[in-house]
Structure 1
Amino acid sequence: MTLTSLTASDDGVMPDSLTIGRRIRQLRTERGLTLDDLGVAIGRAASQVSVVENGKRELRLGELQRFATALDVTLDDLLDASPPSRRAALEIALERVQRGPLFASLGLPPLPVRRSLSDEAIETILGLHSELERIHTERAATPEEARRANTQLRGAMRLRHNHFPELEAAARELLDAVGHTTGPLSQRLVSELAAHLGFSLHYVPDLPSSVRSVRDLEHGRIYVPLSQRPDADPRSVVLQALAGHVLGHGVPQSYAEFLEQRVETNYLAAALLVPAAGAVPLLVAAKEARELSVEDLRDAFGVNYETAAHRFTNLATEHLGIPVHFLKVDSEGTISKAYENDSVLFPTDALGAVEGQTVCRYWSARQVFDVADRFSPYHQYTDKPTGTYWCTSRIQTSSRGEFSVSVGTSFAHAKWFRGRDTTTRFTSRCPDESCCRRPPAEVSSRWAGRSFPTPRLNSSLHAAMPTGAFPGVDTTELYDFLTRHSPAD
């Protein structure tokens, strides 16, 4: 029988080997015994007694009884879970810290706990370790932190109607520098823009899987993958890398700052692909003709539907006076991206976060998956708790499966859009669970207690967000890549 199989003390706390070791040391010292004396009394070498007192070995029940007899105490006295003194409590805490994963990650040698080490010094070390734990916890970007940061960022974007004048001006200045006037931005001009900013482009087959691109600031290089995903726009990958440089982004100090940088780089890249100078007149003319369409914006600038939908939200409220909402939803109804300034009621969790929540089955973002015609845009009116909304949705396919991209607005503004004459209409009462989240009573009574599903867990359900300044980036793999491709100095 070992210590782990013993009964806990009356207060339910099980003493560990460190606490028992310190109690044995205190009792030995109080009785004026040396390590040799106690070793002789229990039939063990002094070195073995020292190992026990330092909490580096668990004791069996028979050994504990021998120590108790030699020290003239009961077994219960020896198994008292409370530290024998304040000094012992500090030493135990320091030993535990030094045996933990955080201390091991620092690469520091263990600090011997000697009498010459003052209580104040131990308290300082413990305080520093506690602060390191706090910082690492924050930078680990738990799902809760990520959701809070996303919620705050979405609120800030709503206040400015998802329009960033300073980024629009930056895009206009960059396009002027390479002589772009109107129409789609060619890959040749993207290369010229990179050269204008002091970078050469390098398409490589071995880019680390955890990154979309890499900027080598020392050698003025941008590395991008040689083969792109079918759903990826090779221009946007380069433009996002250039946008981070133009905006002077440094290493983010928090997850919130990381998200802000992503929003800014994505915005600037989209403003370069779909310049306001060409897009706004097109949209104004379409509104006057009551023919607004995300598809027309997509086709005019040669971008994918999601980029066009995002860009529409940047310009619609500021230049057309139309409040809108945007959704990106997978085939199960889970939201990955969302924005609104038209008072549509998105599902949220207790933190106010939208991402990861499930959209009502009767919204167009879900209904579009049941439509056989994937070529034509899907339009729908939905009566929701905050009013009636018109929405247009389209299915896109990516390496991660199918998802729908939707842009909508309130009924009063539907008159400006092509597709407003649709007769497709649904009613959504969500977040009322009786809408679509709770089965009808007769179905529940039929199957409750008579079925047991095996859930398919989301791969990220139990996983914390990746640690590091840039979540998800494998720094070792990244630096190995840069070393391989770095030009000879």
Structure 2
Amino acid sequence: MTPRDDQKTGIELKTLGHRIRHHRLQQGFTLDELGAAVGVAGSQLSLIENGKREPKLSLLQAIAAATQTAVTDLISGEPPNRRAALEIELERAQSSSVFRSLGIPPVKVTKTLPDETIEAILGLHRELQRRETEAIATPEEARRANTELRLRMRGLNNYLPDLERLAEKQLRAAGHTQGALTHRTVSIMAEQLGFELIYADDLPPSTRSITDLENGRIYLPPASIPGGHGLRSMALQAMAHRLLGHQPPTSYADFLQQRLEINYYAACCLMPEANAVAFLQQARKDRNLAVEDFRDAFGVTHEAAAMRMTNLMTEHLGMPLHFLRVGEAGQIERVYENDALPLPEDVTGSVEGQIVCRKFAARDAFDQQNRTTEHYQYTDTPAGTFWCSTQTGTAERGAFSITVGVRFDDAKWWRGRETQNRETSTCPDESCCRRAPSEQSARWKGRAWPSARVHTHIFAPLPRGAFPGVDDTAVYEFLDRHVGA
């Protein structure tokens, strides 16, 4: 039996004891009088009422008969009155690992202890528990959690069959069989879960969507209307939390896992496995694999299509590959690789936030005059030669590039394999791109003083809260405004 099982059993016995005491007092019995009626000593009955001893069924039947009630009433899990409920909650709180770790002796509950005092103590316990369960992590802890998740997904080929099947089931129930997923079908999927999609122009800035569990509403920003990948994806992600039975995350790792799962589920719905794999297999047969074709076939963003390829191509086409989202300053914002592409890492093994080699297409693409088309490139590295396709875009935080690439031997299946663009990267060798040429360095050493642009997130702790970065007050104020709408 685990400690949690022990605690659960103790609380159940405490509730049973309270119910026995409640019915004994209702009949006007003392402990000794009821004990005499059922054939046990009053002291034995006291242990049962205090939750310290479990009675046999025959004794429960005798107590029920003596107090003119039913056994089912005695063993009910509901406290018999408000006082009992307070005492049971306090018992549970003082049995928690959070409280025990403080080394403070528990408060002994006596008959003379006022209800108000117990309520005040419980208020402190609830605040203690709330602070303990907030997903607070240092940047180092966050990087470790992110790295562990990335490595775990690499071991699975970034493929989650249970979510693929769940998405297929929900799509089939909504009547979707092929083609791009429509907004109407997404609305039907929401309705089948008991939700209505509502567009609101006053969503808190810290949220992408809000789900009102009580009133069955999923609020989305009107900026997504009339269409596009964004609206469908956000709605599907909100539904995924319900379908997957997510609870408020208890750690940053838990938060990252949930975010991965809802993103994966949304991708499965927007690019269903059977149709997507058939499309990719045909493109491979035609030696014409291309992110842009896959994107256009399902009406999603370039990034979503590229990332979905990592879910399916190793598992179904036997092709290892890598995906990179890189900011204009060269920092890795999102990554997946199972083809041994050499990437920079910090001491924790984290890749996110590291600067990729200047010779990589992920950075070279920013210098191309025509950014609207895919940029193809071969890159020779210490781990071998890789071919990749890169597309650039712009977001609120600045420009970014999306790259999908494979090892040289698999380039023959992709459009753009004929490119003559070729670079050589020797990173992590400092002389590759991280150290200025000696002549240039000698020319300017001691003659330049740049003022660094320091990003505030480098020093800031990760946001507090069960949902990191979300302003709970703003969310609740939003729901209060809309609950009567």
TM-score bracket for this pair, using the shorter chain length: 0.7 to 0.9
The answer on 1:360 being equivalent to 2:349 is no
Deviations 1:196-233 (CA, angstroms, capped at 9, x unpaired): 11100110010011010011111111011112499962
Q: Counterpart of 2:456 in 1: which secondary structure?
A: coil
Structure 1: how far apart are the matches of 2:457 and 2:469? 12
Which letter does structure 1 place at the counterpart of 2:193?
L
Structure 2: how far apart are the matches of 1:460 and 1:228? 28
Map of 2:287 onto structure 1:
290
Map of 2:236 onto structure 1:
239
Deviations 1:34-87 (CA, angstroms, capped at 9, x unpaired): xxxxxxxxxxxxxxxxxxxxxxxxxxxxxxxxxxxxxxxxxxxxxxxxxxxxxx
Structure 1: how far apart are the matches of 2:211 and 2:228? 23
Question: Does the aligned pair in 1 maintain the 2:136–2:251 contact within 8 Å?
Answer: no
Q: 1:412 aligns with which of 390, 409, 432?
A: 409
Q: 1:277 aligns with which of 252, 270, 274?
A: 274
Question: Does the aligned pair in 2 maintain the 1:224–1:238 contact within 8 Å?
Answer: yes
Map of 1:176 onto structure 2:
172
Structure 1: how far apart are the matches of 2:478 and 2:441? 56
Unmatched 5+ stretches in structure 1: 1-121
The answer on 1:166 being equivalent to 2:146 is no
Q: Once the 2 structures are TM-superposed, how far is the Cα of residue 484 of structure 1 from its aligned partner?
A: 1.0
Q: Greater Rg, structure 1 or structure 2?
A: 1
Structure 1: how far apart are the matches of 2:322 and 2:388? 9
Which letter does structure 2 place at the counterpart of 1:202?
I
Structure 2: how far apart are the matches of 1:438 and 1:231? 43
Structure 2: how far apart are the matches of 1:152 and 1:322? 23
Q: Taking structure 2 as the reference length, what is the TM-score of the superposition?
A: 0.72
Q: 1:225 aligns with which of 194, 200, 221?
A: 221
Which letter does structure 1 place at the counterpart of 2:458?
L
Question: Does the aligned pair in 1 maintain the 2:134–2:466 contact within 8 Å?
Answer: no
> Would the alpha carbon gap of residues 448 and 225 (structure 1) be closer, same or farther in structure 2, given more than 3 Å must change?
same
Q: Counterpart of 1:211 in 2: which secondary structure?
A: coil
> Would the alpha carbon gap of residues 485 and 406 (structure 1) be closer, same or farther in structure 2, given more than 3 Å must change?
same
1:265-344 alignment to 2 at 5 Å? 265-344=262-341
The answer on 1:381 being equivalent to 2:361 is no
Deviations 1:294-338 (CA, angstroms, capped at 9, x unpaired): 111101000010000011111110111000000000111011100
Structure 1: how far apart are the matches of 2:389 and 2:198? 38
Q: Taking structure 1 as the reference length, what is the TM-score of the superposition?
A: 0.72
Q: 1:450 aligns with which of 444, 447, 456?
A: 447
Structure 2: how far apart are the matches of 1:436 and 1:401? 23
Map of 1:253 onto structure 2:
250
Structure 1: how far apart are the matches of 2:482 and 2:134? 34
Q: 2:151 aligns with which of 155, 164, 168?
A: 155
Unmatched 5+ stretches in structure 2: 1-101, 106-123
Q: Once the 2 structures are TM-superposed, how far is the Cα of residue 123 of structure 1 from its aligned partner?
A: 6.3
Q: Counterpart of 1:435 in 2: which secondary structure?
A: helix
Structure 2: how far apart are the matches of 1:225 and 1:364? 34
Q: Percent identity?
A: 54
Structure 2: how far apart are the matches of 1:404 and 1:201? 32
Structure 1: how far apart are the matches of 2:103 and 2:256? 36
Q: Once the 2 structures are TM-superposed, how far is the Cα of residue 288 of structure 1 from its aligned partner?
A: 1.1
Q: Once the 2 structures are TM-superposed, how far is the Cα of residue 245 of structure 1 from its aligned partner?
A: 1.2
Question: Does the aligned pair in 1 maintain the 2:389–2:403 contact within 8 Å?
Answer: yes
Q: Counterpart of 2:104 in 1: which secondary structure?
A: helix
Map of 1:53 onto structure 2:
none
> Would the alpha carbon gap of residues 223 and 319 (structure 1) be closer, same or farther in structure 2, given more than 3 Å must change?
same
Map of 1:124 onto structure 2:
104
Map of 2:434 onto structure 1:
437
Map of 1:18 onto structure 2:
none
Structure 2: how far apart are the matches of 1:347 and 1:409? 18
Q: Counterpart of 2:430 in 1: which secondary structure?
A: coil
Q: Counterpart of 2:289 in 1: which secondary structure?
A: coil
Q: Once the 2 structures are TM-superposed, how far is the Cα of residue 451 of structure 1 from its aligned partner?
A: 1.1
> Would the alpha carbon gap of residues 411 and 479 (structure 1) be closer, same or farther in structure 2, given more than 3 Å must change?
same
Question: Does the aligned pair in 2 maintain the 1:146–1:256 contact within 8 Å?
Answer: yes
Question: Does the aligned pair in 2 maintain the 1:231–1:399 contact within 8 Å?
Answer: no
Structure 1: how far apart are the matches of 2:132 and 2:247? 19
Q: Counterpart of 1:207 in 2: which secondary structure?
A: coil
Map of 1:74 onto structure 2:
none
Q: Counterpart of 1:283 in 2: which secondary structure?
A: helix
The answer on 1:427 being equivalent to 2:424 is yes
